[in-house]
Amino acid sequence: MSLLTVQLVPASKLPARRTHWVSIFSTVTDRLVHKYGVPSLGNLRDPVQEIFYIMLSARTTDNQYRKTYRALRAKYPSLTDLAMASAEEILSCIRDGGLGKKRAAQLRGIAAALLAKFGNDPSRHLKNLSAREAFELLNGLPGMGPKSALCVMMYSLNHDTFPVDTNVQRVASRLGALSPRLKHWQAQQRLPALVPEGRSKELHIGLVVHGRTVCLPLKPRCDRCILADLCKYGKRRTAKARSK
């Protein structure tokens, strides 16, 4: 099943076994939005800027990759500047963000690919692509994978696509929507089909914030969780605590 196929299936056409989870995630989304709102996680409205922002976010902290992004923008204000730079020059700008020569070459490759395909205003062209066209193009850029492509589509192109990051996968697994044994790519394939139509961004951001603040990897705070009554893992933990 393709990442886009599952995302574009209307909830009314989903097989019966999925409708239960679409309904649960509708309630989950309402509660998360009520508690956290839909805060900005620092992502950018311009799709080209967002591509580079996402590419710098691997394996580092929020503060560090924002700093690296600002340094890259300052040194290479235009795509042409970046496409003409050597990987060594770009590396000197991103090294502090924990990124290496391979990522530097990918950044240059993305700039060159966007210029070759769209000329000087790739953002405008990206905004005019269908969801499928945008996914294929973004997923094919050097160093970009499905999750990065779906992030750019959701944050900057206003498509109803659902990227699955580690926080999203962990909370969804604990709720019981996914097997905890799934690999990340399997979770990315399966979870979008369970997301209520039109609510991808609200749910994604809510799960990220919840995963960072309450449903922590090692010590989830189930006693203060607004999803506890819906959560398989949380109910099991509570029952176990009561039986002691």
Contact with ligand SF4 (CB under 6 A) among 86, 150, 231, 244: 231
Counting contacts by CB under 6 A, is residue 24 touching ligand SF4?
A: no
On whether the CB atoms of residues 52 and 83 are closer than 8 A, the answer is no
Task: Count the site residues for ligand SF4 by CB under 6 A.
Answer: 14
Contact with ligand SF4 (CB under 6 A) among 171, 172, 191, 207: 171
On whether the CB atoms of residues 220 and 214 are closer than 8 A, the answer is yes
On whether the CB atoms of residues 156 and 43 are closer than 8 A, the answer is yes
Counting contacts by CB under 6 A, is residue 25 touching ligand SF4?
A: no
Tell me the C-alpha distance between 175 and 227, whole Å: 8
Stretch of 15-23, 33-41, 53-61, 223-231 lying at the interface with ligand SF4 (CB under 6 A)? 223-231
Counting contacts by CB under 6 A, is residue 146 touching ligand SF4?
A: no
The helix or strand, by DSSP H or E, that contains position 110, with its residue range, turns out to be helix 101-118
Residue 206: burial class (beta carbons within 10 Å; 0-12, 13-18, 19+)? buried
- Give the nearer residue to ligand SF4 in terms of CB position, either 97 or 211: 211
- Give the nearer residue to ligand SF4 in terms of CB position, either 108 or 210: 210
Tell me the C-alpha distance between 195 and 191, whole Å: 7
Residue nearest to ligand SF4 (CB): 234
CA-to-CA dists, residue 123 to 115, 133, 138, 147, angstroms: 11, 14, 12, 19
Stretch of 18-26, 71-79, 125-133, 218-226 lying at the interface with ligand SF4 (CB under 6 A)? 218-226
Counting contacts by CB under 6 A, is residue 172 touching ligand SF4?
A: no
Stretch of 55-63, 92-100, 178-186, 215-223 lying at the interface with ligand SF4 (CB under 6 A)? 215-223
Residue 34: both structure tokens together? 């009520």
On whether the CB atoms of residues 72 and 94 are closer than 8 A, the answer is yes
Q: CB within 8 A of 170, min separation 6: which ones?
A: 211, 215, 217
Counting contacts by CB under 6 A, is residue 228 touching ligand SF4?
A: yes
Tell me the C-alpha distance between 85 and 94, whole Å: 13
- Give the nearer residue to ligand SF4 in terms of CB position, either 20 or 124: 20
Q: How far is the CB of 189 from ligand SF4 (least distance, A)?
A: 22
Stretch of 119-127, 167-175, 178-186, 197-205 lying at the interface with ligand SF4 (CB under 6 A)? 167-175
Binding-site ranges for ligand SF4 (CB under 6 A):
171, 174-175, 214-215, 220-222, 225, 227-228, 231, 233-234
